[in-house]
A and B are shown apart, each in its own frame.
Chain A
């Protein structure tokens, strides 16, 4: 139980384009999902908390207009990186909360050329 999927697992895009990443809780409902970013050989940095049916809560320093989050259902949250630039290249990981525990997706590696 408590499986979280992400799609795509990796994506390469041109600078200036937008990329959408999906996060799904497969066998449970999650009113709250989280989006993280991880740089090579570093820990996870929380970007935002995604709440079903309401606006996401962004961490300090994270541009909400650049990283659009939509949590339209109890099993799906999406992160859209708008007008991506090479510095947005990173490993993006989502998690979904069940009880007191967060379960993580496999991550999406984004490379912006």
Chain B
């Protein structure tokens, strides 16, 4: 079974500052890793994903994440945030291999609060 830990429930940051949202996972098998963003009263939008290959993954809106197998982490980073990045960010993991019914296990979410 897989599990995901997002240690930070809320991360306040000033506009144009860099940010890192932390995500650690546990799994006994290979995994796929995802970051989703949720704006208020909306569904989830895929930011980026790691399925295989390069451990540095670039996503939309200037975000990137690095898969670190030895540290079982998949932290999300952005070098300069905007007010519009204020949202809830969810890290998720599923068992690798592309099984059709592989479930997504979500972290508890991190609220990124960008202040002017």
Contacts and interface: CB of A to CB of B under 8 A. Distances in A.
Interface of A: 4, 6, 31-32, 34, 42-44, 46, 49, 51, 57, 91, 93, 95, 97, 99-107, 109
- Tell me the dominant secondary structure on chain B's binding face: loop
B104 A107 contact: no
Interface residues of B, number: 24
B71 interface: no
Interface of B: 32, 34, 36, 41-46, 49, 51, 90, 94, 96, 98, 100-104, 106-109
A71 B69 CA distance: 37
A93 B44 CA distance: 9
Nearest to A59: B103
A19 B90 CA distance: 28
Contact of B101 (A6, A32, A101): A32
B104 A106 contact: no
A102 B103 CA distance: 9
Contacts of A46: 103-104
Sort A-B residue pairs by CB-CB distance and give the 5 closest, nearest first. A104-B44, A106-B43, A107-B43, A104-B43, A100-B98
Nearest to A51: B101
Contacts of B102: 100
Given A100-B32, A104-B36, A105-B43, A43 B90 contact: yes
B100 A32 contact: yes
Contacts of B94: 100, 102
A49 B104 contact: no
